[in-house]
Amino acid sequence: MDDQTADGLAATLRRIERSAGALATASVARMDESLAWFRSLPADQRAWVMLVAQAGVRSLVEFMRQGPKTRPREVSDEVFAAAPRALARSISLQQTVALIQVTIDVVEEHAGQLAAPGEERDLREEVLRFSREIAFSAARVYARAAESRGSWDARLQALLVDALLRGDSTDTLASRAAALGWADPPPVAVAVGRSPGGEVAPVLHTVYRQARRIGVEVISGVHGDRLVVVLGGAADPLNATEKLIDAFGTGPVVVGPAVASLDEATESARAALAGFRAAPAWPDAPRPVAAAALLPERALAGDVAARRALRRDVYGALVRAGGELIETLDAFFAAGGVLESAARALFVHPNTVRYRLRRIGDVTGFSPLSPRDLFALRIALTVGRLDPRGSTPPGDA
């Protein structure tokens, strides 16, 4: 660079430095005039944009002073350090690029006054180079903010899932859910399966992407080797989980019962976890499977809630319906599921046995003619007879 060129550059830089405040003010005025969304920003955020614009002009001066041979490959992200991180949540990357474009346009329009005589073209070329680099810098800032926010959200969701599984107070659940933007759309259900492994953030991202596709809200977390997903707003949680199945690893996926809100989701989570632990006892279980379909396996695995449900809703229902249904069921078991043999043992017509078996299905929801349901009924009778409360028409919980 000869002395004349150096003198011209120095003069241009002095003019730009002196005009930094005026350029920033003119840029913000142009933003207010041409960008409708900018006019709706709160006053404090508009002030932050002004600070960023002034920092941008100072960065342009430094960019030009260093020259193409000595300047670093990337423009420093310190241009955006003038504004708090919260600004990145209020203004999107696309909007930030629009702000940069407006600022660059204003600088180019004033090139005639800013450049020393004969330096106008060089100034415009440098401004174009700088605009490209500052746009890349903005993209880096937003990428880091998204990564940081994603890590924080993953930690917050892990805490929420842990609180849900522990049965923490509804206030704790509500505050953490609110921080994640959870709208608590009913019904709410919890699905549990094995995590596919690897980094947590990509696992959760897969869940969210698939959940958005089917229009349900989710909060999810990796709890040990398990992936726990809280679904909101899915009319059929089992069907919704089936559409999210690719987000889980291999093995069973169990869906707890639907409840009215997140406040009651601990019940759904506990049922899903108990079902997940007991699911290996039913190798042919559908995937996903409802926790209620695993009641017999859960009862055998020691799940108190499953034993209570079988005693109250199955054995208790049979007791309330009259002794002949239990008697018929015992005979059906003893006959190995052969209807005619059961009828002979009871000294009744086979049609009577058929009627009573249908009645058992109506009363309990489990049909003795289905091998799977017959297994559940046998476990229910065993549980009911082992518990003294099961011998009376139960209204117990």
122 & 173 share domain: no
Q: Which residues contact 53 (CB under 8 A, 6 or more apart)?
A: 23, 24, 27, 28, 99, 103
Single-letter amino acid, residue 94: Q
Nearest to 292 by CA among 258, 317, 342, 319: 258
The pLDDT, as a whole number, for residue 176 is 72
d(CA 299, CA 108): 76
d(CA 48, CA 251): 51
> Does residue 396 lie within any of the structural domains?
no
**DSSP assignments along 61-121, one per residue:** HHHHHHHHHHS-SS--GGGGGGS-THHHHHS-HHHHHHHHHHHHHHHHHTHHHHSPTT-HH
* For residues 250-256, average pLDDT: 97
Answer yes or no: are the C-beta atoms of 391 and 313 closer than 8 Å: no
> Does residue 154 lie within any of the structural domains?
no
260 & 377 share domain: no
pLDDT > 70: percent of the chain: 84
The pLDDT, as a whole number, for residue 317 is 94
Give the full edge-to-edge strand order of the sheet including 253-255: 217-223, 226-232, 188-194, 253-255, 289-290
Across the strands, what pairs with 189?
231
> Does residue 55 lie within any of the structural domains?
yes
286 & 308 share domain: no
Going by the DSSP 8-state scheme, the letter that residue 227 receives in this structure is E
The pLDDT, as a whole number, for residue 3 is 52
Answer yes or no: are the C-beta atoms of 346 and 327 closer than 8 Å: yes
The pLDDT, as a whole number, for residue 13 is 84
10 & 111 share domain: yes
The pLDDT, as a whole number, for residue 70 is 63
The pLDDT, as a whole number, for residue 81 is 59
209 & 315 share domain: no
56-60, 196-200, 362-366: which has the minimum mean pLDDT? Answer: 56-60
Taking only the tens place, the pLDDT of each residue in 142-192 is 666 555 555 556 667 777 777 777 777 677 777 777 767 788 889 999 999
Hey, which of 41-45, 69-73, 145-149, 315-319 has the most confident mean pLDDT? 315-319
Q: Residue 180: what are its φ and ψ, rounded to 5°?
A: -95, 0
Confidence category of residue 58, pLDDT binned at 50, 70, 90: confident
> Does residue 112 lie within any of the structural domains?
yes
Give the domain CATH number at 361.
1.10.10.2840
Give Cα separations from 262 to 93, 188, 289 (angstroms).
33, 6, 21
Is residue 104's pLDDT more than 90? no
The pLDDT, as a whole number, for residue 314 is 95
355 & 230 share domain: no
> Does residue 339 lie within any of the structural domains?
yes
The pLDDT, as a whole number, for residue 42 is 86
> Does residue 158 lie within any of the structural domains?
no
225 & 266 share domain: yes
The pLDDT, as a whole number, for residue 52 is 78
Confidence category of residue 40, pLDDT binned at 50, 70, 90: confident
Answer yes or no: are the C-beta atoms of 195 and 249 closer than 8 Å: yes
The pLDDT, as a whole number, for residue 390 is 47
131 & 37 share domain: yes
Taking only the tens place, the pLDDT of each residue in 329-387 is 999 999 999 999 999 999 999 999 999 999 999 999 999 999 999 999 999 999 999 98
Residue 30 belongs to what H/E stretch? helix 20-34
Last residue of one domain, picked from the residues 99, 115, 148: 148
Answer yes or no: are the C-beta atoms of 299 and 375 closer than 8 Å: no
234 & 125 share domain: no
- CA 394 centroid distance within chain: 40
Is residue 305's pLDDT more than 90? yes
Is residue 73's pLDDT more than 70? no
Record the tokens describing residue 126, joined without a space: 């440098």
216 & 114 share domain: no
Mean predicted lDDT score pLDDT of the chain: 84
253 & 222 share domain: yes
d(CA 262, CA 155): 19
Last residue of one domain, picked from the residues 254, 269, 294: 294
> Does residue 74 lie within any of the structural domains?
yes
Hey, which of 6-10, 135-139, 310-314 has the most confident mean pLDDT? 310-314
Cut 0.85: pTM above it: no
191 & 101 share domain: no
Number of domains in the chain: 3
Containing structural domain, residue 371: 303-391
**DSSP assignments along 301-337, one per residue:** TT-HHHHHHIIIIIIHHHHHH-HHHHHHHHHHHHTTT
> Does residue 352 lie within any of the structural domains?
yes
Give the domain CATH number at 211.
3.30.70.2730
